[in-house]
Structure 1
Amino acid sequence: MNYIKPVTLSALALIASFSVYADDMQAKVQAYIKSGFHKGKNQDPKRLEQDETLKVCSETRGKVSGEQAKAIVEREKATIKYPANGILMGNWQKGKKAFTDGFAMRIGRYEPDAPDKVRGGNCYACHAADPKELAAGNLGTNLRGYGKIRGNTWDTVKYTYDKIYNAQSVIPCSNMPRLGHNGVLSPEQIADIVSFLVDPASPVNK
């Protein structure tokens, strides 16, 4: 049985060296990404640092245990902020603009954006919504007829608001950006987007 030991040790050494190599490569990748940031507004490389939720999702590749999923939902729900007036359905016309415009979670650029640039969700990058808007992505759920299908009950409105504000509070390890949590959209903008999706008068539901 002695001949097994060298093979076992070699395998362990290979695994260990690969782990060190992977860690070293990860560090180099992170350093390279950080080097792309420049001084200026919205150029903070701290955005590359993962919080507890993202670390868990990365380490498990999104396949979290029931206990981990529960912890994520509870932690992320606690971050949600609602409009000062308590109204979760705003103006659908404003919501259409916030849904369409902006750049969502873009990281870095060579020159700062103009002060009057709209800060919206760029939601069409992943979702279809208004049937007349053909330039829509399919990475996310097709939202055409959202309110017509789901109705405009309080449960639908609150679920929609929470999902947009912090998708992790609804679906652990969701690929959707935490648009309110990360300050991309204000609570008022999110309420407007909720209206754009739910209001029967919105083109989404025509």
Structure 2
Amino acid sequence: MFKKNAVAAGMAAFASVALAAGCAVADGSKGSDVDITAMSAEELAEHLIFETNSFRDQEMQEGGNWSDRMTQDELQKACSFDNTREDLDGETAGQVVAMARAGYEAPESIELGDWRKGAELADSGFGYRMGHNNDDHGQREQGGNCYNCHVFDPRVSTQGTIGPSLENYGAQRGTSEAVLRYVHEVISNPHQYFPCTQMPRFNSDRHQLLTDEQISHIMAYLLDPESPVNNQ
């Protein structure tokens, strides 16, 4: 069961209430003889999501459809702790790091892009939202939404603190080849260093949320000596 999936969690909560109250929950499967009253709330949630065509078979912007987006890969499964586990154990952490590194493809060379474009991408949360008004990447490029979790420039008012502060990151670390490679690896697939982190995999074998060019711009915003990130 996937305890961290928000959709499944919501469905499980609904299922718990429905089952506890003795309510009938439509199965939705044509010709199905499935007895949903015998299922736990978690089993019913997964059944409603993946077996009954409850969600539209809509194409996702990263490829695939709704079901693909909600189906966990092996790394996500490894990071979905049950209620008896509070901390990540060493064996699971090692497996997650190994999967992340196997899914990372290093570019031939890593160079800094334009920090001004990187600032725009870090500020933008546009992209991959589905609903009545889907994000159209043909009209506007997707962003990284980095400000949602990190402080880059404290003079910018709308920044989050879920992740570590990145103020003066480049000023403190420089722009050596080792630093460039590390930062590219973390943005592309942070599980290589921080197993089961909440940070998205922006460019991995799972999907490509940002291109290498876009990542180079965000790296420039983070590392370029001229960037406001490094002039505080």
What band does the TM-score fall into relative to the shorter chain?
Answer: 0.7 to 0.9
How far off its partner does 1:121 sit?
A: 0.5
How far off its partner does 1:96 sit?
A: 1.6
Tell me which stretches of 4 or more aligned residues in structure 1 moved more than 6 Å: none
What does residue 181 of structure 2 align with?
A: 158
Q: Cα RMSD between the aligned structures?
A: 2.6
Quick check: which has more Rg, 1 or 2? Answer: 1
- Equivalent residues of 2:118, 2:220 under 8 A apart: yes
What does residue 132 of structure 2 align with?
A: 110
Identity level (%): 32
How far off its partner does 1:44 sit?
A: 1.8
How far off its partner does 1:109 sit?
A: 2.2
What does residue 7 of structure 1 align with?
A: none
Instruction: State the distance in 2 between where 1:29 and 1:139 align.
Output: 32
| Structure showing the higher helix proportion among its residues | 1
How far off its partner does 1:177 sit?
A: 0.7
Q: Which runs of 5+ in 2 are unaligned?
A: 1-37
How far off its partner does 1:76 sit?
A: 0.9
Given residue 90 of structure 2, which amino acid in structure 1 is its aligned partner? G
Confirm whether residue 77 of structure 1 aligns to residue 101 of structure 2: yes
Instruction: State the distance in 1 between where 2:145 and 2:54 align.
Output: 26
Instruction: State the distance in 1 between where 2:47 and 2:217 align.
Output: 42
Corresponding pairs, count: 185
Deviates more, 1:110-119 or 1:120-129: 110-119
- Equivalent residues of 1:88, 1:158 under 8 A apart: no
Question: What are the within-5 Å matches in structure 2 for residues 53-64 of structure 1?
Answer: 53-59=75-81, 63-64=87-88
- Equivalent residues of 2:171, 2:223 under 8 A apart: yes
Compute the TM-score of the two structures, normalised by the length of structure 2.
0.69
Q: Which runs of 5+ in 1 are unaligned?
A: 1-18
Confirm whether residue 148 of structure 1 aligns to residue 167 of structure 2: no
Higher RCO, 1 or 2 (CA under 8 Å, sep at least 6)? 1
